[in-house]
Chain A
Amino acid sequence: MTEHGTASAVAHQFDDLEQQREAGSLGMWLFLITEIMFFGGMFTAYAVYRYAYYNAFIEGSSHLNVPLGAANTVVLIVSSLTMALAVHAAQRGKKKAMVAWLALTIVLGGAFLGVKVVEYKDKYDHGLIPGALWNPKHEGGVAPPAEMQLFFSLYFAMTGMHALHMVIGIGIMLALMRMALRGRFSPEYYAPVEVSGLYWHFVDIVWIFLFPLLYLIGLHVVKGHG
């Protein structure tokens, strides 16, 4: 039963709020470990193919827009800050501030996704979608190496999976906003906000790995042709 704005009491399987909070936190950390293993499969494929086809990867990477990627990185880092501030506000029972920070996080997340749409469209326009639509420009009359398709396959798979996780994260935050507006949280009970914050930070960290691994390959290599 809810009483004077305090959120749902302790769930029946737990003895007290502390146990419930600890369980939820441990559960989220375990879930994030599964996410690491999930992305890990793709990072493995990336490592294998980058080692085998370094030049093709450099060339593929050169087609990516570093300023846009960097901007997106900044956007995500700031969104992690706003998320942390939302958790902070929840801790202090400051409902309006929490909702505002959550809204800002969602906006930043949306901005990230918008930039990704722009980037994806750019790849489409340049015939860099692997598979049936693969039709890259021949630089100086020379076709790019066939393995560059592998680079882009991994690019789309990894950033696409990351974007999917961001969409889910935005959905979670919308749900949190709704719960907050209905007064479900209090300084005693804000665990859902906290664990969602963990999730969002994780999604941010994945991008922090993706950005250099995809966008910054071989930037130091002087290209001899093209």
Chain B
Amino acid sequence: MWTGIPLFPEQASTFAREVDLLYLFLVGVSGFFTVAIFTLVFYFAVRYRRRHADEIPPAVAESATLEIAWSVIPLGITMVMFGWGAKLYFEMRKPPSEALQMWVVGKQWMWKIQHPEGKREINELHVPVGRPVRLQMISEDVIHSFYIPAFRIKQDVLPGRYSELWFEATRPGEYHLFCAEYCGTKHSGMIGKVVVMEAAAYEQWLMGTPTGETMEQAGERLFVQNNCNTCHHDRADARGPVLQGAFGKPVRLESGQTVVVDEAYVRESILNPAGKVVAGYRPVMPTYQGQISEEGVLQLLAYIRSLRERPQK
């Protein structure tokens, strides 16, 4: 039993090996200094133990050189740790542009995952091996945190704001998914698994059990159901800004500010339209807060994002 205690989770992502290497470096340095201090303290305590009651030890000269040495050397070592950690961190924060996009909505106490092709999962995330995957995440209620130990990644999932993380799985298998930010009663029950599959198996899994709409199709359905199309169209009398080709581009607001039409702005426009009105338009758009779920917003986003591919008239 004792030999079976692992010290590391499995390494199942491109990050895992890097993080473990850095971790081992830290363990090595810490171990060195811990052993050194323990040894010195123990050795001095024994070597210089009091031998008779009235003993007075000789004075020991202070040494500025020593002080500077043991300030500068640790400083240097910590800066190496910082640099190495920062470099790896940069990579962790920059998803490659060709990453497969998936969406996560967290709520007390489950994870809801959406694939672009339409497949939806609860507390399970199927991904193909060897391809970068980017997760865009939001919470419906409190702060949660999406944590896959085997991939060495974690990111808080916030209400009202998108957060993201990315990874590239390297080994097929099943791995733990944990919520890592205390979120109430069933926080320790908000767990699941990440299933990494070979590319072919993943495609097959995607195709299995017909799901109906892709995210874009679901978004288009919502767009019509909620009458968005009555104001947002490309005819002359449109009450709302044209959405074709709008995503990803800057736009000028009533206030004079310029913002980029990104996920956050589109989400805000759906849920709190009076906040940032595009210049030249009146603030007449009703709010859909409470009427469209976070998943619905993500679907609408997928649809609106797809509109950029349509040719301009």
Contacts and interface: CB of A to CB of B under 8 A. Distances in A.
Interface in A17-56: 53-56
A5 interface: no
B283 interface: yes
A146 B283 CA distance: 13
B150 to A, nearest CB: 37
Nearest to B271: A146
A147 interface: yes
Contact of A224 (B254, B272, B274): B254
B283 A142 contact: yes
B277 to A, nearest CB: 9
Given A142-B283, A224-B254, A53 B274 contact: no
A126 B276 CA distance: 25
A127 interface: no
A147 B273 CA distance: 12
Contacts of A145: 272, 274-275
15 contacts: A53-B275, A54-B255, A55-B255, A55-B275, A56-B275, A142-B274, A142-B283, A142-B284, A143-B274, A144-B274, A145-B272, A145-B275, A146-B272, A146-B274, A146-B275
Nearest to B255: A55
A47 B255 CA distance: 19
Interface string B3-15: 0000000000000
Interface size range on B against A: under 10
Contacts of A147: 275
Which residue, B255, B272, B274, B284, has most C-beta atoms of chain A within 10 A?
B274
Contacts of B254: 224
Contacts of A146: 272, 274-275
Nearest to B274: A145
Contacts of A142: 274, 283-284
Contacts of B284: 142
B75 to A, nearest CB: 30
Nearest to A142: B283
Contacts of B274: 142-146
Interface string B86-116: 0000000000000000000000000000000
Interface in A144-171: 144-147
A56 B277 CA distance: 13
A147 B274 CA distance: 10
Interface in B273-288: 274-275, 283-284
A145 B283 CA distance: 10
Interface string A153-193: 00000000000000000000000000000000000000000
A52 to B, nearest CB: 10
Interface in A203-226: 224
Nearest to A221: B255
Interface string B233-277: 000000000000000000000110000000000000000101100
Nearest to B272: A146
A109 B47 CA distance: 71
Nearest to A52: B275
Query: Lowest 8 A-B CB distances belong to which pairs?
Result: A145-B274, A55-B255, A142-B283, A145-B275, A146-B272, A143-B274, A147-B275, A142-B274
A146 B275 CA distance: 8
Nearest to B257: A54
A12 B255 CA distance: 65
A39 to B, nearest CB: 27
Given A54-B255, A146-B274, 7 more contacts: A55-B255, A142-B274, A142-B284, A145-B275, A146-B272, A146-B275, A224-B254
Contacts of A143: 274
B273 to A, nearest CB: 10
A147 B289 CA distance: 14
A143 B274 CA distance: 8
A72 to B, nearest CB: 30
A56 B255 CA distance: 11
Interface string A117-139: 00000000000000000000000
Nearest to A58: B255
Nearest to B254: A224
Contacts of B272: 145-146
Contacts of A224: 254
Interface in B200-259: 254-255
Contacts of A56: 275
Contacts of A144: 274
A100 B77 CA distance: 67
A146 B274 CA distance: 8
Nearest to A55: B255
B119 to A, nearest CB: 35
A148 to B, nearest CB: 10
A144 B274 CA distance: 8
Contacts of A53: 275
A142 to B, nearest CB: 6
Contacts of B283: 142
A59 to B, nearest CB: 10
